[in-house]
Amino acid sequence: MSMTARVLFALIAGAAAGLILVALAPEAAHGAAAVMQPIGKLWLNALQMTVVPLVVSLVVIGVTSATDAAASGRTARRAMVVFIVLLSLGAAFAAIAAPALLSLLPRDEALVQAFRTATSTPTVAPPALGDWLTAMIPSNVIAAAAASAMLPLVVFALFFGFALTRIEPARRARLVELFQAIADTMIVIVRWLLWIAPLGVFALMFAVCAHVGVGMLGAVGYYIVLQCSLYISVTLMLYLVAAAAGTPLRRFAAGVLPAQTIAASTQSSLASLPAMVDSARVRLGYPLEIASLVLPMAVSLFRMTSPIQYIGVTAFVAWIYGVDLSAAQLAGCAALAVVISLGSVGLPGQVSFMATNMPVVQAAGLPVEPMGLLLAVDTIPDVFATLGNVTGDLAATGVVAGRERTASADDGTA
């Protein structure tokens, strides 16, 4: 049985056990929930302990990789600009659309209170805007790391990564290798923890359902619908991006379909790369020298739906706890999501979910207790996320090809 199937089975089993026990013996259910709750909390704490070193390492590696890629030529630089612009637009869309969609849903305050009780979470209040803004630049990076203050840590990692590109190449290579070793080690630990994820997810879901009841299942259903809606919306917008870059809409839709089919069946952009190259060259008519450069770069550095996922998760956690995030906080989370996504493309799906969503949720001042439950049900939205990523890779290639045609025409005119 695959890891995804085991975690999903544990989620269903925990929900069923909690709901059945609370229906038959409410007092016993609350007692059992009190035992299960610390088990789930221990598992989440173990995952959290890897986040700070992993995220800092990934951001530093991502900055240096992007800088090296952009230095390799005009086409590569143009591709990096396109990637960052598309990621930023996707994050901005999610920051607007996710809270708007969630505001249309009924929110039961009793469910909120029961959920806080089930996850041992105190009343959540976002920091004041002034405090949140001034904390973006850490006065003490060690203290920020100790407090798991992810936004100032990422800001420091960005400064560090860009400064690293300015030092002597041999020294830079040694430091990048050190950060890569740290990231790889943290990923090994996360994989160990994901191996026991069924136990942690069962404990979390049992405790929540014993306190909240069937209302929790409805809330999880809202999360799935929210993420799928965001992914589908952005994927459709990418068709318009390709059309604006010069590829006829109908041609792009037909050309991207074979790669989308493989993406949906494998849930892997890397596995879809051969089909994407074929679609770009044969069906869409993009130049070979552009497709062969931009598509591997996209698979290595660009995951269109990642910032959308991070913002969707953050908005959902805020909705669950009855917290209204300010526009400035959503903008900061969107910028953080773009930065983290550039460094996390190579991570396996479940490792990526925990390691990359936690920093954005924490940056918004929200608890991470729901993350284990959302990990278990993210399999369904992940199909649409992979479709969006593959569509984004080909749309970005189309934009670069269009810009190259314009630049060549201008050079010819001159």
3-405 fold: Proton glutamate symport protein (1.10.3860)
Q: Which of 66-75, 100-109, 121-130, 367-376 has the lowest mean pLDDT?
A: 121-130
pLDDT value at 287 more than 80: yes
Burial 360-374 (b: 16+ CB within 10 A, else e): bbbbbbbbbbbbbbb
pLDDT value at 197 more than 50: yes
Q: Summarize the confidence of residues 284-308 as an average pLDDT.
A: 84
Q: Which of 93-97, 124-128, 201-205, 283-287 has the lowest mean pLDDT?
A: 124-128
| 414 — pLDDT class (breaks 50, 70, 90) | very low
% residues pLDDT > 70 (the chain): 84
Q: What is the pLDDT at residue 413?
A: 47
Q: Summarize the confidence of residues 350-358 as an average pLDDT.
A: 73
Q: What is the pLDDT at residue 52?
A: 82
Q: Summarize the confidence of residues 387-408 as an average pLDDT.
A: 85
CA pair distance 337, 350, nearest whole angstrom: 17
Q: What is the pLDDT at residue 158?
A: 83
Q: What is the pLDDT of residues 224-273, one digit of tens each?
A: 999 999 999 999 999 999 999 888 999 999 989 988 888 887 777 777 88
| 37 — pLDDT class (breaks 50, 70, 90) | confident
Q: Summarize the confidence of residues 76-84 as an average pLDDT.
A: 85
| 125 — pLDDT class (breaks 50, 70, 90) | low
Q: What is the pLDDT of residues 135-173, one digit of tens each?
A: 667 778 888 777 767 778 878 888 888 888 888 888 888
Q: Which of 20-34, 112-126, 152-166, 275-289 has the lowest mean pLDDT?
A: 112-126
Q: Where are the domains of the chain?
A: 3-405
